[in-house]
Amino acid sequence: MSDTSVIVRCKNCLTLNRVLQSRLRSKPVCGNCKTVIEVPQEPLWAKAESFDREVAYWPETLLIFFTASLCLHCKIIDPLVRDLALKRTGKLKVMKVDVEADEYLARRFAVTKTPTFIVYRNAVEVIRVDGAPKDKTDLVTWIDNLMGYTSY
Ligand SMILES: [Zn+2]
């Protein structure tokens, strides 16, 4: 596979940095301010107070996974979501919202079912799916179609 690059925004100075995918795991630094660029490789728990910033600052695809501790469908799909986050590091960021622990975000997005998925591209909502997809691999297909994965 060829070594493609991804665009990651520096959390310190907000500069967009182009980073080779092969370098993502070796603590790349921002070309402008030399701060280590954080590239999430696994789903992060969203926080109400930083949610909008996280959405606004991520230039690539962002998946929000609304989940609940007792939701069986969530448990089934969770490993797949983790796998998505790991395999598409730098291109896809995944944030989880526990709808029981974070009522503010659950209410704000009027989440009535778990799992619910919302996908952002460049901070714009592009897909929302309430409830478990018919086939859990549908989720991978949506994400890959959105990311134009093969065209990179
Ligand atoms: Zn910087």
**pLDDT tens column, 4-31:** 888 889 989 999 999 998 888 889 999 9
pTM of this structure: 0.88
Residue 29 structure tokens? 């630094």
| Residue percentage of the chain with pLDDT more than 90 | 66
CATH number of the domain located at residue range(s) 1-39 in this protein: 2.30.30.380
Q: Enumerate the CATH 3.40.30.10 domain ranges in the chain, comma separated.
A: 40-147
pLDDT of 2: 63
Task: Of 67, 46, 58, give the one whose Cα is nearest residue 117.
Answer: 67
Rounded to the nearest whole angstrom, what is the distance from the C-alpha of residue 130 to the centroid of ligand 1? 37
Mean pLDDT along residues 24-44:
92
Span from the CA of 43 to the centroid of ligand 1 (angstroms): 23
Distance 27 CA to ligand 1 centre (A): 13
Distance 17 CA to ligand 1 centre (A): 8
Helix, strand, or coil (residue 81): helix
Query: Token match 């109400």: residue?
Result: 48
Distance 36 CA to ligand 1 centre (A): 8
Q: Which CATH architecture describes the domain 40-147?
A: 3-Layer(aba) Sandwich (3.40)
With 0-12 / 13-18 / 19 or more C-beta atoms within 10 angstroms meaning exposed / middle / buried, residue 114 is buried
User: Which pLDDT belongs to residue 152?
Assistant: 40
